Structure 1
Amino acid sequence: MTQQLPLARALNAGLRRAMEDDPKVLLMGEDIGRLGGVFRVTDGLLSTFGEERVLDTPLAESGIVGAAIGLALRGYRPVCEIQFDGFIYPGFDQITSQLAKLTNRLEGTQSFPIVIRVPYGGHIGSIEHHSESPETYFAHTPGLRVVTPSNPNDGYWMIQQAIASNDPVMFFEPKSRYWPKGEVDLAAPSVDLHVSRVVRPGTDATLIGYGPMVSVLLAAAEIAAGEGRSLEVVDVRSLSPIDWGPILGSVEKTGRAVVAHEAPTFLGIGAEIAATIQERAFYSLEAPVIRVGAFDVPYPPAKLEKLYLPDADRVLDAVDRTLAY
């Protein structure tokens, strides 16, 4: 059974199904109840599950995460919403100093099945603190799982898989992809939570990305096809842990790689992917791995974000550079 759903509605359906399946799953965050969240991802869940399971919290991200830790200790599976990516920093200490370390600190005697939902990325015409990409901070933190869907089907299944995990999961949602529709298979997930996937086959070079960048890479590959170039696209999906098999297998086939993300290029996820390709697929490379990302400046005013964020043209420029070797 399939449906055409936008990512926001697919996430809503995934949350609903998880809550129906397990009474210990509860949602908490700013304006997620009566309002249904800023992006309406939790719309209608309050009327179904009530105020004891869909909690409107104070504007205090540290308090949201701290309360979730306490609830997890009591056997619940909290799903926290951080309203915007840039609002996560007041809760950063709770996430990285406490949540990420508690299972290890307690020698595995207690699990902390907490999901922290983070709408992230640009292309919505907003300002700093509403359009940032802070995923690297958390992927760098041992003890956290970090994932990001790029399409509605992944959104529907990955949110359920994240909730079922006994480890803390940072769930980054590309808000620029909330409303384009895609096919959602309601019967069964296509892959596990931490699996990378080739989403477009090709032979000349590999484009690697995640979240909001996957649609940009697919658009670049389509343009390139019209020019006689065959580009393979890999959706990383899981940023910690990373499933290297499909990534390395693709690069070993094409011999060239371009890694792209909306976050600033310096010390981004792309740097880790490029370094690992160089270490583990060096003898397959015909050219250096090229990174494409946002510029290393604070997020600009909305009118300038198209100049700041990587687009298909910048990706194709990197492809030209790697094919020139």
Structure 2
Amino acid sequence: MNTLTKTKMLTMVGAITDGMRVMLAEHDDVLLMGEDIGTNGGVFRATDGLQAEFGEDRVMDTPLSEAGFIGAAIGLAVNGFRPVTEIQFMGFIYPAYEQIMTHASRLRSRTLGHYTCPIVIRAPYGAGVRAPEIHSDSTEAIFTHMPGIKVVCPSSAYDAKGLMIAAIEDPDPVLFLEPMRCYRSSREEVPEEKYTVEIGKGKVVNDGEDVTIIAWGAMVKVAEDAAREAAEQGISCEVLDLRTLYPLDKDLISSSVQKTGRTVVVHEAHATGGVGNDVLAIINDTSFLYQKAPVERVTGFDTPVPYFGFEDFYLPDHKRVLEAVKKVAEY
């Protein structure tokens, strides 16, 4: 980061707000839409103050109909606007799935490139905040399986603002996943000015030589905690934050796992059909002969996310990740 750049200390949710504010101020075609996002500022206050600043024509409360306002946003997108929509919790996105799958993701292909659909769909997701049933789903793989839509997931405030701006500027639909556990868990310096984080590019958050740990969202912190404990036991772990789940950063994944030869993939989504399986496929396709041990996965279980009294048993923690690290290191 340029040391001359003015920065401010922001939480992740504050950085997301700041990214939307930057784009609302710069582009008249950017609109915000969602349930209770105006006066109330959204269920997590991610749009707090934006309606007062930019007006009801730019920051719009919608009826309680995900299919309805996502459909309306798609219509706006193909007519020159850049709508940013808020799904209150990812578990509420399913009524809008038909609109996303049938229309948003296919418009570029359907019209042979004559139309694009620059819509951003914000969705808080993940367990660990003691939310009720359906509020804690981590079903990102449903959307990474869908050609025509990008899926991003920041784990830090800096990345959240940069990815938000990049998502709004992208000509195609972007599902912007926001790990609720990270919303206010920490603060970091974020530039006041406009900047972007490239969609499709992950990053190394911890250099290492012995084992690669691959994670995203709230699981990045879990992976880092496991890496610190592993280092105390003489195992050097490289931690990757994918940041984008579709398209995956194949170059980053392959270069790291070729260096270490041992890999652990961590995600809180269900094991079956999870994005981790696509990561394994990349490793198999690009780096199979470099592997010194079978890849280990540390994931949620193949059950609905349980009620909050039991979610700590469902979620991967640093102890489970550390066990997997030691297993591949000792293979």
Give the TM-score, by structure 1 length: 0.98
The CA distance in 2 between the partners of 1:309 and 1:273, in whole Å, is 20
Report the Cα offset of residue 187 of structure 1: 4.5
| TM alignment of 1:280-299, pairs within 5 A | 280-299=286-305
Q: Which runs of 5+ in 1 are unaligned?
A: none
Q: Does 1:48 align with 2:53?
A: yes
Report the Cα offset of residue 183 of structure 1: 2.2
Report the Cα offset of residue 50 of structure 1: 0.5
The CA distance in 2 between the partners of 1:200 and 1:191, in whole Å, is 18
The CA distance in 2 between the partners of 1:259 and 1:215, in whole Å, is 13
**Structure 1 residue aligned with 2:136, among 131, 134, 138?**
131
> After superposition, what is the alpha-carbon deviation per residue over 1:36-60, rounded to whole angstroms, capped at 9, x for unaligned?
0010000000000000000000000
**Structure 1 residue aligned with 2:263, among 247, 257, 264?**
257
Report the Cα offset of residue 193 of structure 1: 2.0
> After superposition, what is the alpha-carbon deviation per residue over 1:237-296, rounded to whole angstroms, capped at 9, x for unaligned?
111111111111110110000001110111100011012101210111000111111011
Match for residue 277 of structure 1? 283
The CA distance in 2 between the partners of 1:147 and 1:72, in whole Å, is 19
The CA distance in 2 between the partners of 1:39 and 1:261, in whole Å, is 23
**Structure 2 residue aligned with 1:3, among 2, 8, 11?**
8
Percentage of matched positions with identical amino acids: 47
**Structure 1 residue aligned with 2:225, among 219, 225, 231?**
219
Secondary structure at the counterpart of residue 294 of structure 2 = coil
**Structure 1 residue aligned with 2:310, among 304, 307, 316?**
304
The CA distance in 1 between the partners of 2:163 and 2:327, in whole Å, is 35
Q: Does 1:144 align with 2:149?
A: yes
> After superposition, what is the alpha-carbon deviation per residue over 1:45-86, rounded to whole angstroms, capped at 9, x for unaligned?
000000000000000000011000111122100000000010
> After superposition, what is the alpha-carbon deviation per residue over 1:72-106, rounded to whole angstroms, capped at 9, x for unaligned?
12210000000001000010100011111111101
Match for residue 210 of structure 2? 204
Match for residue 87 of structure 1? 92
Does the 8 A contact of 1:274 with 1:291 survive in 2? no
The CA distance in 2 between the partners of 1:190 and 1:68, in whole Å, is 23
Q: Does 1:115 align with 2:120?
A: yes
The CA distance in 2 between the partners of 1:306 and 1:121, in whole Å, is 12
Q: Does 1:167 align with 2:169?
A: no
**Structure 2 residue aligned with 1:38, among 21, 32, 43?**
43
Does the 8 A contact of 1:274 with 1:290 survive in 2? no
Match for residue 109 of structure 2? 104
The CA distance in 1 between the partners of 2:7 and 2:199, in whole Å, is 20
Report the Cα offset of residue 145 of structure 1: 0.6
Paired residues in the alignment total: 325
The CA distance in 2 between the partners of 1:298 and 1:88, in whole Å, is 16
Q: Tell me: CA distance 1:29–1:159, structure 2 relative to 1, closer, same or farther (3 Å).
A: same
Does the 8 A contact of 1:196 with 1:244 survive in 2? no
Q: Tell me: CA distance 1:123–1:35, structure 2 relative to 1, closer, same or farther (3 Å).
A: same
CA root-mean-square deviation: 1.1
**Structure 2 residue aligned with 1:242, among 248, 252, 271?**
248
Q: Does 1:155 align with 2:160?
A: yes
Amino acid at match of 1:226: E
Match for residue 64 of structure 2? 59
**Structure 1 residue aligned with 2:198, among 192, 199, 202?**
192
Q: Which runs of 5+ in 2 are unaligned?
A: 1-5
Secondary structure at the counterpart of residue 133 of structure 1 = coil
Does the 8 A contact of 2:31 with 2:81 survive in 1? yes
The CA distance in 2 between the partners of 1:275 and 1:192, in whole Å, is 23
